[in-house]
Amino acid sequence: MDRSEKATIVLFGGTGDLAARKLLPALFSLWKERRLIDPAILAVGRRVKTTEEYLAFIDQQVDVAKKESARWAEFAKTITFHHGDISTEEDFNQLKASIEQIEREKSLPAQRLFYYAVSPRFIAPITENLASVGLIKRDSPTDTTWERIIVEKPFGHDAASAAELDGCLHDRINERQIYRIDHYLGKETVQNLLAFRFANGLFEPVWNNNFVEHVQITVAESIGVEGRADYYEKSGALRDMMQNHMMQLLATTAMEPPIALEADTIRDEKVKVLRSIRLPNGPTDVELSTVRGQYGPGQMDGKEVIGYRHEENVDPNSLTPTYVAAQLYLDSWRWAGVPFYLRHGKRLPKRATEIAIKFQTPPLALFRGTGVIGNCTNLLVIRIQPNEGITLYFGAKKPGSGMKVSTVEMDFDYQKSFHREIPEAYERLLLDALLGDPTLFIRSDEVAATWRWADAIQKGWDQLPPPQFPNYISGSWGPSMAESLFPSGNEIPSGSCPMGWRRF
Ligand SMILES: NC(=O)c1ccc[n+]([C@@H]2O[C@H](COP(=O)([O-])OP(=O)(O)OC[C@H]3O[C@@H](n4cnc5c(N)ncnc54)[C@H](OP(=O)(O)O)[C@@H]3O)[C@@H](O)[C@H]2O)c1
């Protein structure tokens, strides 16, 4: 079992939503599993003043604190609160004193993980301030000292701002000290993609343009903007989801086998995929290969819901897309000619993330006229969330006289096979950062490669006439225009069809 080294974990944004919903519960789980050795957690914020007030505040925010109060109370002894303003350098001198005091009291080495769970505008100033008070430095790690930072998405707003941010960070620390988080990479099912592809002899031989007809990657959310309009109005579906999570799913699905399971060899292969994305050739190309959408009013679970333009803090004439579908090609030997379809939207009928690989139909329609449904779809569906697992759809003879074939499924379900809860992505990622393993974090060149594509799409949209929004009803599968983008004729018996598949 991997166990972290002794370290001080500094949570900037300790009073925020991410800390309460994900980070503290993840640290609690790791502590319960004895994967954190004598942790010291220092939460930073302004909303409360003292550790006592903070623990009372966090008790109300964190679900597990209420559910497992006795164990939580024990865990809470590892938490100290530091009241400070991260935008002022003077407060970092006090932060340094707090960290050093904790390290002295708990006999901890100067091993420090700084988690930036704050608005991205603070990434550069925090790093500057940490460096100027000597809390981080360009490292030459020793056995007993290191400093690492974890930064949340979004990393930049486009390629230029991401490069500028990288410049600020690289002025102060080395790339290997920077852990850019994309929590999708911490999901078991995404990591299983590597095991599925490279630990089996069965799938890799057909994982290419000789056998695959197309690939669909879908991230569907049933929620709307949920009070995050200030951020979302500037971001939209392309920047919020496609540029990061979906590009990571694409890269992990399409990458070549790495020469070893090591951070840089894996990331080298991913970045090759991202660089191989064919860029659209002007606005017409963008118009033909993408569909933008924005949700209007509708019904979710039988309840009336308002449209995006009526959400709090949203411009009533907003042109921010809450849905994007895109067709793209990878100019690589393995994937030449295979279309990849990416689709993401808010207020779709259900929350689900999946990767569907559609294999080519047999060269001869031998079973034509025998009741075969469609072309007897050979489809591999990897369910990232929920109901994590993998389903393979293929044709089988229907029992009885004659030769009738229909599509059946073979299913692997994580819960049923392994009889244990799937750990939260943040658990794995926090532990990896403490262990110094950056494999599941995004390297600077990956960020640049993903912005290259997203910027090209955004540039095309900027040159096209404004879209007619809203153009899909909340609770539907998105704008009807998207249907023309995706391939048709893939019929799977109802009840077993992967999410949204019939619409294609
Ligand atoms: N929430 C999520 O599920 C989620 C998911 C993925 C990524 N993220 C990313 O994670 C980051 C944080 O998101 P969030 O939802 O947790 O935001 P949030 O709830 O608005 O929390 C912001 C945090 O920043 C602190 N803060 C703001 N200004 C400060 C200052 N001058 N000095 C000290 N602390 C300051 C706030 O502390 P005080 O209020 O106490 O001052 C608060 O703890 C963002 O980059 C977001 O994009 C969040």
Which atom of ligand 1 is nearest the CA belonging to 228?
A: 15
| Residue 140 alpha carbon to ligand 1 centre in Å | 30
Gap between the terminal Cα atoms of the chain: 44
**With 50 as the cut, is the pLDDT of residue 422 above it?**
yes
Residue from 493, 485, 495 nearest 216 by CA = 485
Across the strands, what pairs with 298?
305, 474
* DSSP per-residue letters across 272-319: HHHHTBPPP-SHHHHHHHEEEE-EEEEEETTEEE--GGGSTT--TT--
The domain 204-424+435-503 having CATH identifier 3.30.360.10: the answer here is yes
What distance lies between CA 385 and its chain's CA centroid? 11
Q: How does pLDDT run across 346-378, given as a tens digit for each residue?
A: 999 999 999 999 999 887 777 776 665 555 778
pLDDT tens for residues 383-419?
998 889 999 998 888 898 877 788 889 999 998 999 8
Distance CA 453, CA 329 (A): 11
Closest C-alpha to ligand 1, atom 1? 18
Q: What is the pTM of this model?
A: 0.94
Element (H, E) at 205: none
CATH topology identical between 8-152 and 204-424+435-503: no
Query: What's the CATH class of domain 8-152?
Result: alpha beta
pLDDT at 163: 97
| C-beta atoms surrounding 140 within 10 Å | 8
Pairwise pLDDT comparison (188 vs 304), residue with the higher score: 304
Rg (CA), the chain: 24
Token code pair at residue 329: 């090609």
Q: Hey, whose CA ends up nearest to atom 21 of ligand 1?
A: 16
Atom of ligand 1 nearest to the CA of 86: 32
pLDDT 10s digits, 73-130: 999 999 999 999 999 888 999 999 999 999 999 999 999 999 999 999 999 999 999 9
pLDDT given for residue 373 in this prediction: 52
Distance (Å) from CA 245 to ligand 1 centroid: 20
* Closest residue by CA, ligand 1 atom 37: 45
pLDDT on residue 89: 87
Q: How far apart are the C-alpha atoms of 152 and 448, rounded to whole Å?
A: 16
**Which pLDDT tens digit goes with each residue over 424-442?**
899 999 999 999 999 999 9
Q: Where are the domains of the chain?
A: 8-152, 204-424+435-503
Question: Is ligand 1 within 6 A of the CB of residue 125?
Answer: no
| Ligand 1 geometric centre to CA of 19 (Å) | 8
Which value, to the nearest 10 degrees, does the dihedral of the CA atoms of residues 228, 233, 239, 245 take?
20
CA of 365 to the centre of ligand 1 (A): 57
Q: Under a CB-based contact definition with an 8 Å cutoff, are residues 145 and 177 in contact?
A: no
pLDDT of residue 419: 86
Distances from the Cα of 453 to the Cα of 15, 209, 220, 447, angstroms: 35, 22, 21, 10
Taking only the tens place, the pLDDT of each residue in 16-55 is: 999 999 999 999 999 999 999 888 999 999 999 999 999 9
- Please check the confidence at residue 503 and state whether its pLDDT lies above 50: no
The residue ranking higher by pLDDT, 499 or 44, is 44
Residue 418 token pair: 């392994």
Q: Check residue 175 and report its DSSP letter.
A: G
- Residue 375's pLDDT is 54
DSSP string, 424-443: PHHHHHHHHHHHT--TTSB-
Instruction: Give which of 138, 165, 156, 125 is closest to 12, Cα–Cα.
Output: 125
* Residue 172 backbone phi and psi in degrees, to 5: -110, -35
* DSSP three-state, residue 494: coil
Give residue 296's pLDDT: 98
Ligand 1 neighbourhood includes 298 CB (under 6 angstroms): no
Nearest CA to ligand 1 atom 2: 18
For the cut 60, the answer to whether the pLDDT of residue 137 exceeds it is yes
Q: Which residues are catalytic?
A: 245
Regarding the beta carbon of 85 and ligand 1, being less than 6 Å apart is answered yes
Contacts of residue 433, defined as CB under 8 A and 6 or more positions apart, other chains included, come to 113, 148, 150, 179, 441
Average pLDDT, the chain: 91
